[in-house]
Chain A
Amino acid sequence: MLKADRIVQTTCSYCGVGCQLDLHIREEIIFRVEGRFDNEVNFGQLCVKGRFGYDFVHASDRLRRPLARASRRAEFSPASWDEALDRVANRLKGIRDQYGPRSVAFLTSAKCTNEENYLLQKFARTVIGTNTVDHCARL
């Protein structure tokens, strides 16, 4: 059996059951996933997605650099983080000042962490000044 370089305990990112699992890493690849027994959620079990569904982490089409384009008709080109974030900051500021805070809307994410969801709604409410922040809970 292949030996892992390291084993990292984490929470499955598919459904809302929250199975506890171990990611077995070798040469920076998740090569095995095992359910953990030391909890009252999955009692060692995993479903087919939790056990075999993590290829996407290593997919060749993962986004690796910020992308931007001058207009919707143009193709995307790579941008630096500074260029991309300055562009976002300037446009959001411009739209907020021209049309008011409620003209900016946010979709936060049922796939992201609590900490990230907290920050994005805080951003919407304190930096932009709108309560228009929602996510796919209804979908």
Chain B
Amino acid sequence: MTNSIREIPEAEVIFVIGSNTTEAHPVLALQMKKAVCGRGAKLILADPRRIELAGFAHLHLRQRPGTDIALINTIAHVIIKEGLHDLAFIEERTEGYEEFAALVGEWTPERGKEVTGVPAQEIIEAARLYAKAGNASIFWAMGITQHTTGTDNVKALVNLALLTGHIGRLGAGLNPLRGQNNVQGACDMGGLPNVYPGYQNVTDVAVREKFEKAWGITTADDRPRPNGSPSPAVRRLDTQIGLTITEIVDAILAGEVHALYIMGENPMLSDPNLNHVRQALERVDFLVHQDIFLNETGQFADVVLPAASFAEKWGTFTNTERRVQMVRPALEPPGEARPDWQIITDLANRMGADWSYESAAEIMDEIAAVTPIYGGISHARLERLGGIQWPCPTPDHPGTQYLHESKFSRGRGLFTPVEFEEAEELPDSEYPFILSTGRVLFHWHGGTMSRRSPGLESLAPQAEIEIHPQDAQKLGAQDGQPVRVSSRRGDVVANVLITPRSPTGTVFMTFHYAEAAANLLTPNYVDPVAKIPEYKVSAVKVEIVEEAVSV
């Protein structure tokens, strides 16, 4: 998020697109409700489904799944056509406007309606509301990013903020809502194949040399060693960008990756096209699974290492508004389980490293030394101040409430003309429905945590498939009846939930249930830049299951 959670009620207009905020980020959604109900803010919701936020929305645009760019470009078209753009901001802070304006010039409301299915008048009204607001902020989540056009979807939203100058102020900005408790931190820490901690590029020679020095890598001898020579210690950091999660799966099947070390993840439930993932996990020569449970992925492992849960260790998580906060132990780990940082340190030392970390606080001190955006963060400071929002470059810096106040990271904000493209897999006569996947309030991700709470489980015990009443009637399906949902990749059985929440032609499932894993259906088509899979649009068919099937 460029803004902070506490700024949400400061916006006059809140534009939520591709985020089911009340179910996936419920406590943050309370601030949106406060803005609307308590401050008179106007909420524009763009979502194919009639989610709970629709009840708070001034306008609900129900675009056809996968047509976000068409919708956003049309909104931009109207803003320019009606002269509602911020020319001074465009002049002072941005570049690339002319090319962008030329592209959206073609996105008339009529064309927008044709592609998205949203009435032209609603698009015009949304454009006016957003552009005329004193402060407006945009919120999105995986509904924007989990598409083969995910990166372009985000760029289209950035264009909208640059066009109107709704960025870099209290209550005005661009706010991606991060899913997992510490997905922001895992990215910040360089848990990505292209960057070191703090988004420093692995292909930048100066950066690489800085890390080689900081990490004590010997640079004196980098001669290639002949095959069969004794184990070489790492002499230079890898100069090539590594593989992403979906590429790792493919590389295992291609015989290029032979060992996989997994800490606290469950690709056998959360990755797309699970039958493909299963083949890779069976094929890989050596699989280490370090977790608090023996989950679906762990079943394939050679070695399983028991880890401490969040309630049993020291550390920090970084939330969606870039706030680093303390995690503190309340209990002893069960049995011989150990905190992940101790396990990794022990393993590194068995492989010739000389690591001497004695506490998570010490590790944070090293993070601060090599990561400029975390430069002023330490456990001692967090204990004293509570959370600190990065960038926080020095120990006397208070942290940063909102980003891009006077300039962007790259200098000028760049307009990127993005052209609409259809999703990779569209419904056809054999697979006539669009499947979208997501979450419900009562469960979390693969269900490893939430499904072990009897209270939560009793509220949402089984996999359901949301079907519009008209589609259910055509199928002859009754509420609660089991149906088989199939795609080109696999099939699952789930119970019908008849509801107008999903539009006709679109069905919705969650990915919480291992026994009816929606990701057996989803495709591994990915966005070419971010490599994010297209979970929000795939083609499926739905058939009545004649015999009784236990689900």
Contacts and interface: CB of A to CB of B under 8 A. Distances in A.
13 contacts: A16-B25, A16-B184, A53-B456, A54-B311, A62-B292, A63-B293, A92-B286, A102-B256, A112-B186, A115-B367, A116-B263, A120-B263, A138-B245
A97 B203 CA distance: 24
B306 to A, nearest CB: 4
B431 interface: no
Contact of A130 (B238, B320, B387): B238
Nearest to A64: B335
A126 B306 contact: no
Contacts of A20: 325, 386-387
Contact of A16 (B258, B302, B320, B364): B320
B341 A119 contact: yes
Nearest to A106: B261
B180 A16 contact: yes
Contacts of B311: 8, 10, 13, 23, 30, 54, 57
B188 A132 contact: no
Contact of A15 (B179, B234, B267, B294): B179
Residue from A17, A25, A54 whose CB has the most chain B CB atoms within 10 Å: A17
B351 A127 contact: yes
A56 B449 contact: yes
Interface of B: 4-6, 24-28, 30, 145-146, 177-194, 196-197, 202, 211, 215, 217, 230-232, 234, 237-238, 240-246, 248, 251-252, 256-265, 267, 270-272, 282, 285-286, 288, 291-294, 300-307, 309-321, 323-332, 334-341, 343-348, 350-353, 357, 360, 363-364, 366-367, 386-387, 441-444, 448-450, 452-456, 459, 526, 530-533, 535
Given A13-B311, A102-B257, A137-B186, 13 more contacts: A8-B311, A18-B318, A23-B311, A48-B456, A56-B292, A62-B293, A85-B350, A113-B310, A113-B317, A117-B186, A125-B237, A132-B243, A134-B192
B305 A129 contact: no
Given A40-B4, A92-B286, A112-B263, A120 B191 contact: yes
Contacts of B146: 138
Interface of A: 6, 8-20, 23, 25, 28, 30, 38-42, 45-50, 52-57, 59, 61-69, 72, 76, 79, 81, 84-89, 91-93, 95-99, 101-139
Nearest to A99: B258
A61 B320 CA distance: 31
B334 A16 contact: no
Nearest to B377: A114
Nearest to B300: A72
Contact of A91 (B180, B246, B259, B282): B259
A105 B25 contact: no
Contacts of B217: 126
A16 B178 contact: yes
Contact of A9 (B257, B261, B328): B328
A136 B370 CA distance: 24
A18 B263 contact: no
A32 B330 CA distance: 12
A113 B313 contact: yes
B190 A121 contact: yes
Contacts of B325: 11, 18, 20, 41
B337 to A, nearest CB: 6
A125 B531 CA distance: 21
A23 B327 CA distance: 11
Residue from A68, A79, A96, A113 whose CB has the most chain B CB atoms within 10 Å: A113
Contacts of B320: 16-18
Nearest to A121: B190
Contact of A66 (B332, B336, B526): B336
B240 A6 contact: no
Contacts of A39: 386-387
B460 to A, nearest CB: 10
A135 B188 CA distance: 12
Contacts of A57: 309, 311-312, 331
B159 to A, nearest CB: 23
A76 B177 CA distance: 39
A113 B185 contact: yes
B296 to A, nearest CB: 13
B449 A126 contact: no
Contacts of A64: 306, 334-337
Given A113-B341, A117-B191, A137-B183, A47 B237 contact: no
A134 B248 contact: yes
B399 to A, nearest CB: 11
A72 B284 CA distance: 11
B151 to A, nearest CB: 11
A114 B30 CA distance: 27
A63 to B, nearest CB: 4
